[in-house]
Amino acid sequence: MLSNLFSPIRIGNMTSKNRLMMSAMSINFGVDDNCCVTDQLIEYFVQRAKGGVGMMLVGGGSVHPGGQELPDLPQMYTDDCIPALKKMVQQIKPYGTLFGVQLMHGGRQSYLPQKVAPSPIPAPAVVKGEVRALEIHEIKELVACFGDSARRCREAGFDFIELHGAHGYLINQFMAPNSNIRTDDYGGSFENRTRFLFEIIADIQAKTKKDLPIGIRINGNDYIENGWTLEDTVKLAPLLESAGIVYLHVSGGVYGSTELTIPSMYTPHGCFVHLAEEVKKHVTIPVITVGRIKHPDHADDIIKQGKADMVAMGRSFLADPFYPEKAKKGDFEQIRPCIGCCLGCIHAVLAKEPGSCVANPDVGREYKLKSEKPPEHSLKILVAGAGPAGMAAARQFALQGHKPIVCEKKPESGGLLALASTAPGRGELNDILEFFKQELKRLAVEVRYNTELSLDLINEINPDKVILATGSLPDMPVIKGLFQTKMDLATNIDVISGKEPVGNKVIVLGGGMTGLITADFLADQGKQVVVLNRKKNFAEEMSSNDRYYLRERLNKETVSLYKNVSIKQFIDDGVVFKANGEEITLTGFDSVVISEKQSAIRDAKELEGKTTALFHLIGDAKTPRHLMYCISEAEEIARSAY
């Protein structure tokens, strides 16, 4: 099984035990005040080395203080960083994983106020601020910084380095015409625009005596006007091979591109594989592909078909550090899945917060959990509700050695998340539910369906703790005319579940995540939809990457979006409201769908005090929020139960 993915491969003077690479990620935690790595980052990587990955990379290794992409990333620009890096390398070595550092300079995509780039052109998206063009002597200094940083990596004992020449960072900025309008030796022609890269390679080789393998991550396509293209990559690839590069890691996209560097669940799996496949035709060195490759059999098939020599994954190794080990054993159902929401990883990081994972709350806490002790006493736990929070709690209680029982008033598990997964493009939400279902089965956790929480049930089970994960329901707002209108009135749950059909012209009240998903659901059926958002922004609770694709889906003639709306009243066949200071009247509508706030379901709280069991609220039953809080809260209550 997976004989292609789990075969060794020779890369330069190295041999990787399998064809899986954990790609570099700017995780934004695990460094001290001087940006030297700490035990937090070390244990994060140790867990993933234990999990069996063939190669992995430290992300965001800054070669210059002025090129730091984010505030809490490892620095490689002084010798002070070497002792901590040595410690990290030594702790990884026993697991046989090739360990490298991705060296980078953010250029105009640095978070710092003083930004430099090939030309004084600001980044097209995400990062704001003025940019100063580099002087020739500064370019030479940065070339030396890359070489010096590589020398430090070699002294620390790393197996290889990877140059970040993709995603709109400094090397890519030099290569792409839209960010480089220089007229000197570093601009204009293809040769000049790639000169910076080749000077870096030569400087590294000179300072590391050519015994430190150098790979490069490069865009197959920038997916932006006048950017770097696949034709450029095909032209450059043989030149890089001739220069001594040992592998090409082919990705795509920059800040502001039409295809995002870190795509969400709306994007097809393997979205950048075709880029690597084309590049592979022009070189003999290994080519690594990346981009929404999630399932082990998919990864194996890419290798089998010769589209790439290795497969890189980032978020899948956030979600489950032991992905390789489980895949190799064929235990696919035990792999905790990335759901492509982009919320804990890229969204948090771009907000300059520590990276995390919706599916795996342990990310960044590995160093704290490694000394976790089992409970002294096993507790009997009753969990009310088999949605994501309830199942996550029950699973963690079982893993901690307790005895959970789950009751669910419906005939199936999943809660509102199961319903949300039926909306267009949201199917991967169900992956985390299936994971929890399989885990409860594997751990022999009893789940009683069609069973409401009651005093009789509590008396029968006699639990030490009752965990209320009973979810939430749509809140019905009080707006003039809403309950007198002749339009059909329904909630988003009624509509997506098919319980309440709606007409062909629909008003959706609510521009949050559920409102936009509901609008997309209706528009996908060919209905005309108007979204009225009473907030200033749409779907603020979504990651910007996920929201981007959803907004693109809603960019059609049949959908109208209004924000910062003040509703005057609903009328028989429409609504009167103000938006941007203008009063608007819409008529001729058939239905109104309520998709604004959610209210916690806390009916079972009335049982508290009638039993000696302790009650705890988690998930939406505590406060309706997004999935990240539901799962992390659920696992935390299980860990703190004793």
Catalytic residue ranges: 169
CA distances from 625 to 344, 358, 452, 621 (A): 14, 12, 23, 10
Residue-by-residue DSSP string for 45-85: HHHHHHTT-SEEEEEEEESSGGG-SSTTS-B-SSGGGHHHH
How crowded is residue 553: how many other Cβ atoms within 10 Å of its Cβ? Answer: 18
CA distance 81 to 184: 35
CA distance 159 to 156: 9
Radius of gyration of the chain (CA): 27
Query: Is residue 572 helix, strand or coil?
Result: coil
Query: Is residue 362 helix, strand or coil?
Result: coil
CA distance 115 to 111: 8
Pairing of strands 598-600, 472-474: antiparallel
Pairing of strands 488-491, 472-474: unpaired
CA distance 489 to 506: 10
Length of the chain: 642
CA distance 72 to 23: 18
Helix (H) or strand (E) holding 100: strand 98-104
Nearest alpha-carbon partner for 264 in 279, 253, 248, 275? 253
Residue-by-residue DSSP string for 341-357: --IIIIIHHHTTS----
Residue-by-residue DSSP string for 525-556: TT-EEEEE--SSSS-TTS-HHHHHHHHHHT-S
